[in-house]
Amino acid sequence: MKEFPSCFGENGVQIADTSPSATTRAAQNASTCVYRCKLRGRFCFITVSWTKNLMGQVLSVGIDDQGKQCLCKIDIKPWLFSKRKGSKVLEVGSSKVEIFWDLSSAKFGYGPEPLEGFYLALVLNQETVLLLGDLKKEAYRKIESDGGDAVLIAKREHIFGKKFFGAKARFCDKGQVHDVGIECDTIGFSDPCLVIRIDRKIVMQVKRLKWKFRGNHTILVDGFPVQVLWDVHNWLFGNAMSNAVFMFQTCVSGEKMWWPDQSDSDPPALTRACSQQFRDSQMQGLGFSLILYAWKTE
């Protein structure tokens, strides 16, 4: 079974050694978004990855065609040599790829991606396919066409906490941004409980977690069904530095997603399931996927 498309693969985060502490450090502050746009009658997938590590902040932009082959991957290190503002042009075959960015006034939260005060624009063959950020007027001075109609179809993020974990997500295009909260205290409890909140409201609660360490449940967000899939096997039975995995998938097709059997104790089972569902969502337009890797800290 294939994993995520090439530009959305785990190779986006380089890990020098495989010890638990090194894995946690390498995974920290990494966020990847995948956008789908239509370019000259066919779908194109754009991957934007923000990573913060000891070397500073890194922005990676990749373009996948329908064959899931990475046409280009550009690494921009805006905090290195003060390159917080600039552009880059590449010739990829018969295509001309232009990247414009301005992060000189960007404001950040806890994560690696900016919250405001920035723009990132991608122009392919003189057609704007992606425009991110709130400084759109400034971006339009650099590009000759209006912003593209790219839709965010998937986001993968590493989040950290002791028993509370939080993220933000928009489950439908141009919809409301929601706070996603995960609560699970596995220390000192013989029978821990998993609680998931949307905008501080409890939408899901899993008791007897040692028996239900992997499963799925459907909730409603903005009136749309969202299937929640979880795998906390490593939290309960792994080492102290292990992570759990959660996936939130909008179910616009009304069909249930495949999920590994509860008796399957293979920890990567959820990752493989997420990979399959992500590829199906891309090709069939099944909505938005949010994948969270939740790491427990001391």
**Tens-level pLDDT at each residue, the chain (298 residues):** 233 333 333 332 222 233 444 444 445 678 999 998 877 667 788 889 988 776 667 888 888 766 555 556 666 676 654 568 888 888 766 778 888 999 888 888 777 888 899 999 998 888 888 999 999 989 988 887 766 678 899 999 999 888 999 998 888 777 788 999 999 987 777 788 999 999 999 999 999 898 999 999 999 998 889 999 999 998 888 766 678 999 999 875 544 444 444 444 454 555 555 555 545 544 445 578 999 999 988 6
Label the pairing between strands 151-161 and 164-169: unpaired
Tokens of 101: 């960015």
Q: What gap in Å lies between CA 88 and CA 73, rounded to an integer?
A: 12
Q: 168: helix, coil or strand?
A: strand
H or E element at residue 279: helix 269-284
Beta-carbon contacts of residue 110 (< 8 Å; ≥ 6 apart): none
pLDDT of residue 205: 94
pLDDT for the residue 111: 77
pTM: 0.77
> Which pLDDT does position 13 carry in this prediction?
26
Cβ contacts of residue 186 below 8 Å, gap of 6+? 163, 192, 232, 235, 236, 296
Q: What is the pLDDT of residue 114?
A: 87
